[in-house]
Structures are given as C-alpha cells and as structure tokens.
C-alpha cells in the first residue's frame, strides 16, 4: 500500500510503502484508520494519509512527492500546469479551458499554448521531417477543427 507524508500545507513531501499485513483488521480488511494508526506509531507523525486503491472512496489518485492533498475530498493532485486550467475536485485532474478532438491518427505531439489559449499539434504523417515540411496546426475552440497556422 502507498502511504504519503503530507506537510502542514497539504503538500506530499514523501511516499513509502507499507505491507497490508501491518494494517489489516481482525476481519481481514485494510482500513484508513488502521493505516493512519500504524504510521503514527511507527513514524510518530500525525500528518500521514493513505492511498488505498482497493477501498473505493478512500483517496483519489496515487500520491507523488510534490503533489497536493485535499483532505475534505481525499484527492491527491498535481500542481496546476497552466493558469487557465481548472481542477476537477472529484478526479484530481486539471482540465484545459476546452477539449479538442486530437484525431490521434492525424495529429500528434499536441500541446497547450497558454499565451494563445490554443491546442497546437503537428500531423503524425510528417513526424521526422524538418520543421518546414511539418507545419503546426491549431485547434479551434468552437468548431474543434484543426487548421494550418
């Protein structure tokens, strides 16, 4: 089981594994309470939270060092990638202002450009060619269609 040490700002500062056998109940199940109790006894620290994928509703997302933790929603999430993106508190996933059908078979190397608030990409058929033979396309936020820059 993955355990995360969280500081007073709810930032993950360390992660480590604990064997399920150390935190199993008399009835054979792993609980958040047992995990926290075990960690508090071993590490003498109360700022520990757990990730238990087998128990639905305990935490969302696996913790990584540098991630954030929301104790009220029990969600681990990465830092905001761009100022315009918003966090889905249910999934812990950052969302761009709009989605664009990437048409993975046509466009690849798709990236968000914050300064223009647009998705950009290149045609996969042109990968490996010089930049002058592999122009950039942008995705229109309304029509979701790709056009040559």
Is the CB of residue 38 less than 8 Å from the CB of residue 44?
no
Residues of the chain with pLDDT under 70: 46-59, 102-104
89-112 per-position pLDDT tens digit: 888 999 999 988 766 678 878 899
Q: What confidence score (pLDDT) does residue 139 get? A: 92
Q: What confidence score (pLDDT) does residue 40 get? A: 82
Sequential DSSP letters for 1-70: -EEEEE-TTSBEEEEEE--GGGSB-TTS-B-HHHHHHHHHHHH--S-EEEE-TTSTTS-BS---TT-EEE
Q: What's the whole-model pTM score?
A: 0.75
Q: What confidence score (pLDDT) does residue 126 get? A: 84
């Amino acid at each position: 089981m993955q355990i995360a040490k969280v500081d007073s700002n709810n930032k993950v500062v360390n992660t480590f594994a604990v064997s399920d056998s150390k935190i199993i109940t008399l009835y054979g199940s792993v609980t958040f309470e047992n995990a926290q109790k075990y960690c508090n006894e071993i590490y003498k620290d109360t700022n520990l939270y757990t990730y238990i994928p087998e128990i639905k509703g305990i935490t969302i997302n696996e913790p990584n060092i540098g991630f954030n933790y929301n104790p009220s929603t029990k969600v681990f999430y990465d830092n905001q990638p761009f100022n315009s993106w918003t966090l889905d508190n249910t999934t812990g996933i950052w969302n761009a202002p709009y989605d664009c059908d990437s048409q993975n078979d046509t466009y690849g190397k798709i990236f968000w450009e914050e300064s223009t608030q647009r998705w950009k990409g290149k045609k996969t058929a042109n990968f490996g060619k010089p930049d002058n033979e592999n122009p950039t396309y942008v995705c229109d936020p309304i029509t979701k269609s790709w056009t040559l820059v």
